[in-house]
Structure 1
Amino acid sequence: MSRLTEHMDGFAAQAPSLEWRSGDHAEEDSNILRLIGGRLTYRERFTDREAAFLAAHAPGPFEVTIPEITNFVVADWNPRVSGPHYPSRADIVDDLAAVLLQEAAALAEDGVRHVQIDAPCFIAFANPRILGLFESAGLDARDLLRRCIEADAAVVRLLRDRGVAVGMHICRGNYRGQWFNEGSYDDIGADVFGGIPVDHWPLEYDSERAGTFEPLQHVPDGVRVVLGLVKTKTGALEDPDELARRVDEAARIVPLADLAVSPQCGFASEVQGNPLAWDDQRRKLDLTVSVAQRVWGRV
């Protein structure tokens, strides 16, 4: 996200104030985003460095990650700074989509064959606190969600039409062991899972904040669901029996052949990372592999 804001015009040198949460307290802290302060236009590539490095050094298939539109719709619009250029959050969707379509086309031209789209702010549309902000501003949250989904679907279709496999990762924020959003998939599952034609969904499912597996009924047949059951915010190791049990529970809704297991998110979604040591991360990855071998018999 920070690479995008640095490589396109329209972002002000001012960070938004985001309420990151950890346990029972909230902390105002952000250094990874910028407020929208002008018309958003594509200036130059923002994933070319990663794509070129991986193409030169990866021993096999590799993945490049790009951000998703709701990240900026939720976190980067401010009535005072952004309002003169975009009177409403909804007004930025088309310009953001144009930027991501250009970057997606460039990645396909680079020969990248796996792209992940990160969407930690979809859950904002199930978060009562943020829905209250939308309502107070006179926004129709369902219409805004629909517009974001349609724009995201256009990016996904462009990539898949050019032979790129696409996954979309939904979490609730992952910043120094904290999270930003709260809410289950229940209120957005039918719209999001049914409206964005990805190949697979890597989903946060490591805490009660994610809710049940019931919304997975809206995932189309043949689309893989990657269950993010292993925590990345703390170093405590999960019980492998419980992880296997939860995979079995999800398999009542999605066929086991279309399920996978993974860590919930990255161990370092920004440069300072989460409060895990290197050995903690290694143990988490080893646990993920062992559970996959136990459930599927292979990895």
Structure 2
Amino acid sequence: MRLIASDIDGTILGHDGLISPRTVDAFAAAAEAGIEIVFVTGRPPRWLDPIRQQLGHTGTVICSNGAVTYDLGAEKILESHVVPWETVEQVRAIVSELAPQSYFALESLSGLHIEDGFYGSRAPRSDSEVAPAVLLPEMADAGIVKLLAVRHTGSADDYLDLVAPHLASLIAVTHSAPDLALLEMGALGVNKAVTLAQYAAARGIDAADVVAFGDMPNDIEMLAWAGSGYALASGHPQALAAAALCAPRFEDDGVAQVIEARLAALRVG
């Protein structure tokens, strides 16, 4: 174990915005043992305060499902994969035809741009830096890293099954919201695993030496790629099916339990 790669929401961070003291201690022990740590999330860079404030992490974070590599300490984008405006238009047209009650938003390198109706009856995050707007071609100048589509009925699984087969040649499609029919779409061929593999290779770390944790469909490729990919027992069935290993539930500090056990095994070895 040379590198720990962990998802954030539902894996180490709860709906209350907190990381448990046991999990904080486990990551600190891993860092003290010389193990590199990288977080791999669907979140944009501006939503990383829990990692910085609660874990003291100031290293690299792979954001937006692999589309952005971010230096948290320097608050600097190191690399990004953007979606062309032509692709945005094509995808919106296809999704709107298949699911007419869809609403869209664009996550760019400068913020979030939403269509009216995107949030429905839900209140936007107070720290989301939302810029309500009609989605316009000039927004591509800011670097579109994620196209979001939501409908306010049904499940994300059903929504994904409906539209993904029609988008396979245009854009990468996944989801990570457990209670919302929200799709996350990024540059074709980009996902958490692709960017994590590049990150590890640049440091001379093989997949066999990577321990990864996740809980949702946007973690599937990462969990399959890592030498030791753990899906949390509380996670989505597709994540559990993709991972070779299973960690205890989030509520039981599953990630901390695995890290503690693996560090103990290293000490014995």
Q: Which bin holds the TM-score, normalised by the shorter protein?
A: 0.3 to 0.5
Normalized against structure 2, the TM-score is what?
A: 0.32
Greater percentage in helix: 1
Answer 1 or 2: higher relative contact order, Cα 8 Å, separation at least 6: 2
Normalized against structure 1, the TM-score is what?
A: 0.30
Greater percentage in strand: 2
